[in-house]
Amino acid sequence: MSSGDATELRGELLDDFYTESDEHLGTIRRELLALEQPAAPSEHAAALDRCFRSMHTMKGNAAIIGLHSAEALTHAAEDLFRLLLRQPVGPDADALQLLGRVAGSLEAIVAAHRREQPIPEADTLIKELREFVAGLTNHPPAADGAPASGPAAPVSAVARWVCVFSPTQELDRRGVNINSVRARLGELGEIVSAVPSVQPKGAMQFEFTVAVRQPPADPGAWAADGMVFRPALADVVEPERRTAGPSPAPSSSLYIAPSHVVRVDLARLDELMRITGEMVIHRSRLADRIARSPDDHAALQEVNLALGRSLRELRDAITRVRLVPVGEVFNRMPFVVRDLARDTGKQVRLVVDGEHTEIDKYVVERLKEPLLHLVRNAVSHGVELPSVRVAAGKPPEAVLRLSASTVGSSVVIRICDDGAGIDRTAIVARAQTLGISAPPDPSDEDILDVLCRAGFSTRDEADRAAGRGVGMAVVRTTIRELGGSLSFAAERGVRTQFNLRLPLTLSIAETFLVTAGEHTCALPQEFVREILPVTPADLLQIQHAEVLSCRGEILPVLRLRGLFGLSSPPGAPMTALVLNTDNGQVALVVDRVHGRREVVVRALKDPLVQVPGITGATELGDGRPVLILDAAALAGRRVAPTARMAERISA
């Protein structure tokens, strides 16, 4: 094998290791949370078993790639899991806390290895695990006064033996096969590894490594059934090719059911989506050329429409492949909330809803840090101490709700706590102290602008949760780069809620093309409730603000011409698009709606060209850039100053 092939093979191996580590750590976190809840002993045992298997697999994978700190840590954690599995009662809070720290340390080690950074130290945690195991060994917990079952010696005292089994037809007729051998070895000790090999003339042989406390008795009887034992070399680590743990149930086959999952690198999916986007642009150019041609191209138009349908199907298929549950991020939050509550002396219960809501994998990866910061802020700034809550007539335990839902082609994530809310006067005073401008009577949007200013913090000193003055600025920047929007609502002493609206996918969107003067813009179709023609007489002027009466509702009006600083010609025909957003409804008045168009979304990442109300740009095939409007931001700008007037008009 050439050096280039070896490098590529190692790269693929590392990618698989990182992916599997993320899956196993997710399993460990999920099962540790389940172990904190009351359940039957059998359910706790099953959860411990799943944790043990994931930990063992991680140990083998870490050994293969040479990540020795992770290998040593998982090995020490395995010892604890083995003892917990043999206890008649479930693990206590101290054991779960220690295992939670192990999961966090493993995540940090793998992340550092992936970023090629210094590997965090794990010796202290390994020592704690060994001391904890020794304590359990010397004082095993009892159930109903009876001593705990299982061996009392440390797992490190277990000896390893190698059993070589050579199956034959005669042995098979006697009922001695791979399944019966597994069962017998499982009764003798713990199967650490099982490695099949092909011998000369096609014969099969299986080499089992078994951890036992007593040497196998009567070797002759084992040899008569095709099994030969020998002590394992102390200095040799057997290859861990299969997940160990309790012996699996016998089956009629050596292989598990075939997997229907193929791991694909996200960069390859990005490339597929990029190519699809280019095809959409070329198809748009073709449609434009056909429309401009004076000749009748009915047949060509039919082909163009068929191509458009196929492109939509291709886009939807690739989008579905990229979608993953937002639970990938949500599953990390219970540990964060629990640790912060313990450190601050607060009582917080996290309620998660909609964790199965799917969103683009790239969005999930970028969302981890912003969501983590918002959850930390909720515990640090929003939730009060139990004594303060009781004095205010609240239960001592605060509720932090983390939810996700799909709205059209967007995903809305909400972080809401029933804490102290926001003291607007204190925010304004603090902003003035830091030299940040803020209106004396701020709206929710004004408060959010202040909170998201770089350098703003309500604390003079930083701790592990907050106080650095950069978190909220990073949150808003990241959400904008993803083509989403961030909104905020708070009631003093009642609640604080942040809403994140994110696109389901980042590449292609269905839009309406609208014009104002010579400017053409694209408006995402999902926000448009209806389109209707309007005349100047339909628009009411109340206290220097325009509103539109539509089906018994009074809607604030926003003219697209006004965004570009253009005046509206008197008496010119106009069209209003009624927009539904989280910030309310607004009537966007444009000169003309040109119809629907599928566009490729290009995010505006450069802060010098980011403008409120504009979420990105695209091109229609003729090379001219077209801005994509942010309906939620436009509604927020217009609803706030006119909501009170609309209520008065309706009355």
Handedness of CA 9, 15, 21, 24 (dihedral sign): negative
Q: Give the distance from CA 521 to its chain's centroid.
A: 32
Partners of residue 520 on adjacent β-strands: 515
**Lowest-confidence pick of 491-495, 501-505, 560-564:** 501-505
pTM (predicted TM-score): 0.58
Check pLDDT > 70 for residue 608. no
Report the interhelical angle of 41-65 vs 3-35 (nearest 10°). Answer: 160
User: Mean per-residue pLDDT for 538-552?
Assistant: 80
> 3-class DSSP state for residue 216?
coil
Check pLDDT > 90 for residue 400. yes
User: Mean per-residue pLDDT for 384-394?
Assistant: 91
For 442, left (φ over 0), alpha (ψ -120 to 50), or beta?
Answer: beta
Report the interhelical angle of 41-65 vs 68-86 (nearest 10°). Answer: 160
> 3-class DSSP state for residue 504?
coil
Model pLDDT for residues 404-462, shown as the tens digit of each residue = 998 777 889 999 999 988 888 888 888 888 888 888 888 888 888 888 887 777 665 54
Check pLDDT > 60 for residue 469. no
Report residue 158's pLDDT band, with 50, 70 and 90 as the boundaries. Answer: low
Residue type, position 57, single letter: T
State which of 81-90, 99-108, 280-289, 534-543 shows the largest mean pLDDT.
99-108
Check pLDDT > 60 for residue 18. yes
User: Mean per-residue pLDDT for 614-620?
Assistant: 80
Check pLDDT > 50 for residue 146. no
Residues with Cβ within 8 Å of 122's Cβ and at least 6 positions away in sequence, in order, are 69, 70, 72, 73, 105, 109
User: Mean per-residue pLDDT for 503-509?
Assistant: 73
Which comes out higher in pLDDT, residue 313 or 214? 313
User: Mean per-residue pLDDT for 171-193?
Assistant: 81
Structure tokens of 608? 């010098």
Model pLDDT for residues 125-144, shown as the tens digit of each residue = 888 888 888 887 765 554 44
Which comes out higher in pLDDT, residue 417 or 468? 417
**Lowest-confidence pick of 62-66, 492-496, 528-532:** 62-66
**What is the Cα–Cα distance from 214 to 140, expressed in whole angstroms?**
21
pLDDT score of 154: 36
Percentage with pLDDT > 70 across the chain? 82
Residues with Cβ within 8 Å of 455's Cβ and at least 6 positions away in sequence, in order, are 434, 436, 469, 470
pLDDT score of 152: 36
> 3-class DSSP state for residue 191?
strand
User: Mean per-residue pLDDT for 327-346?
Assistant: 84
Instruction: Report H helices in 515-574.
Output: 560-563
Across the chain, mean pLDDT equals 77
Cα Rg, the chain, nearest whole Å: 32
Handedness of CA 3, 7, 8, 10 (dihedral sign): positive
pLDDT score of 387: 92
User: Mean per-residue pLDDT for 291-298?
Assistant: 76
Which comes out higher in pLDDT, residue 213 or 288? 288
Contact between 576 and 589 under an 8 Å Cβ cutoff? The reply is yes
Report residue 598's pLDDT band, with 50, 70 and 90 as the boundaries. Answer: confident
Which comes out higher in pLDDT, residue 154 or 53? 53
pLDDT score of 12: 61
